[in-house]
Structure 1
Amino acid sequence: MDFAIEINKLSFHYKDGTKALRNISLHIERGTKVAILGPNGSGKTTLLLHLNGIHQVQQGELTVLAQRVGKGREKWLRSQVGMVFQDPDDQLFSATVWDDVAFGPINQGLRGEELKKRVSGALKQVKMEAYSQKAPYHLSYGQKKRVAIAGVLAMQPEIIVLDEPAAFLDPAAKQSLFQLLDELNSQGKTIVMATHDVDLAARWADRVFLLHSGQILAEGKPSLLTNQQVVVQADLELPTVSQIFVPFPELCQPTVPVTVAEAQEIIRKLSGLKGKHLGS
């Protein structure tokens, strides 16, 4: 199997003694969409910061794109794994959008026409080319998120990791962001996000990992999120759709729906409207 990320018995503690990760092992296949779920303080951000080389491996092993990661490999790792922080203001600091997106490629040694091509292409991908000369602080929050992603795309990484990407976005901006992430995934990018939003993970991810107190509690397909015992143990909640159907197991054998589309299909069957749209 072709893995983008392999983690074996990874542990990490902060200088104050806080144990953020405890003996974590997980494998992420290339070209997949993965959600790492957990409540605040579960270790999600700490784990992501390892994937981009911001945190060094203290104990255990991290392998990215078949290359063992260790001290001295940070530059290579950041060229392969682009990270989008939860707050885009932590990532945007230049006078213009163009300068911000160009920062990474310049550090990679790009100049001249190749640099212009890289930056213009990244801005086009996120539909922000018309804003290239604007100051980032004049942008909306959703637009800032797109510019932060463009800065990552301009470095042409194989893997993109995002920390709570939907935080503080309105519904339209959220939909636009995830359309972009799906487009990037269709181009072969591996997308990894940390979130506590079970509804988002249920409808978007190929695979989910449940993290709690720095440990992996469970992993599997999004249908895992209908396992009430596991979800409660992770200090999360069932997806909204699943909450509606769990009290009525006789309606949804053999599995509880996890997405709106799955729930609609059950209702169609129960209504004798299979293959038709409700309300038509």
Structure 2
Amino acid sequence: MEPVIEVTELSFLYKDGTRALDKCSLTIERGTKVAILGPNGSGKSTLLLHLNGIHVVQQGTVKVLEETVSPSNEQWLRSKVGLVFQDPDDQIFSGTVWEDVAFGPVNQGLRGEELEARVRQALRFVKMEQYSRKVPYHLSYGQKKRVAIAGVLAMNPDIIVLDEPVAFLDPAGKRALFELLDQLNRQGKTIVAATHNVDIAARWAHKIIILSEGRVLAQGTPALLTDKTIVQEAELELPAVTEIFAPFPDLCKPKTPVTVEEAQNIIKQLVTNSSRGRFVRREKGASYNGWESH
């Protein structure tokens, strides 16, 4: 698959001497849903800020859509990579929802009917069109998160990057957010989300990238999260489903489940095999109380 983001040997040192990234290298392919996992302090947020040009590359390279990121192409980069901060209050600052969503397109040079259409479409997509004249301060946290995403969508980026997208959201808000992200992905957007929630990453992402101490510890499919050694080294936890099935390796062939759907398939197969076994035994005329159903 075509890479849309290529990070090579990226290192970053904060002014206080903290090394946030240490020769970090990774690739993100077009049209994928990618979860970047790691504990607090692993470098997730610092990495995301490089993808949008907020942090200037100190050492190494970052390529987006085959273009090497530098201060000279900052405006172009932000039109291609939309960043949604963890806290929407860090991103929403205008007097009304409409003005906030329009801020990015206005800076891209849009005016008149084209601007109106872009803002209206973005608000409609996140189901916030009826709030366009509201003051953002009066919105709920989940609504603010939707407005922040609308502000990014209004700029029509190819790649959408989110830092801890489900932070402080209730279960309904989490479901709605990921339904929205899935819809964007189906439209061809590449979605990158940094999180420390392994259960969400396991059931949502196509690709997992695990960071530890500023470096990529591992990257691959969600099956990575069944590797106890990697998970422990990254100071994470096994997905809840994996934790339940891990003590029963004979039940988990050919692979240990990481999602509820995979676990359900294993259980269905066990039930099916049990039913077949009961049928065969009864056909043979044997009496096994253990196989009787009540």
TM-score by length of 2: 0.92
Residue of structure 1 equivalent to 2:63: 63
Structure 2 CA distance for aligned equivalents of residues 5 and 136 of structure 1: 33
Query: Cα distance, 1:72 vs. partner?
Result: 1.5
The Cα RMSD (Å) is: 1.0
Please tell me whether residue 51 in structure 1 is matched to residue 57 in structure 2: no
Deviation sequence 1:232-252 (CA, Å, 0-9, x none):
000000000000000110111
Deviation sequence 1:158-216 (CA, Å, 0-9, x none):
00000000111001111000000000000000000100000000000000000011011
Residue of structure 2 equivalent to 1:278: none
The DSSP-based 3-state class of the residue aligned with 2:50 is helix
Structure 1 CA distance for aligned equivalents of residues 88 and 71 of structure 2: 27
Query: Cα distance, 1:71 vs. partner?
Result: 2.0
Deviation sequence 1:221-262 (CA, Å, 0-9, x none):
001100000000000000000000001101111211000000
Please tell me whether residue 236 in structure 1 is matched to residue 227 in structure 2: no
Structure 2 CA distance for aligned equivalents of residues 231 and 191 of structure 1: 23
Query: Cα distance, 1:273 vs. partner?
Result: 7.6
TM-score by length of 1: 0.97
Structure 2 CA distance for aligned equivalents of residues 91 and 69 of structure 1: 23
Query: Cα distance, 1:19 vs. partner?
Result: 0.4
Residue of structure 1 equivalent to 2:92: 92
Gaps of 5+ in 1: 275-280
Please tell me whether residue 142 in structure 1 is matched to residue 147 in structure 2: no
Structure 1 CA distance for aligned equivalents of residues 41 and 201 of structure 2: 18
The residue type equivalent to 1:64 in the other structure is V
Counterpart mapping for 1:72-87 below 5 A: 72-87=72-87
The DSSP-based 3-state class of the residue aligned with 1:208 is strand
Q: Percent identity at matched positions?
A: 68
Gaps of 5+ in 2: 275-294
Moved over 2 A (4+): none
Residue of structure 2 equivalent to 1:202: 202
Residue of structure 2 equivalent to 1:217: 217
Larger radius of gyration: 2
> Going by fraction, where is helix more abundant, 1 or 2?
2
The DSSP-based 3-state class of the residue aligned with 1:22 is strand
Residue of structure 2 equivalent to 1:2: 2
Structure 2 CA distance for aligned equivalents of residues 165 and 137 of structure 1: 19
Counterpart mapping for 1:232-271 below 5 A: 232-271=232-271
Please tell me whether residue 111 in structure 1 is matched to residue 111 in structure 2: yes
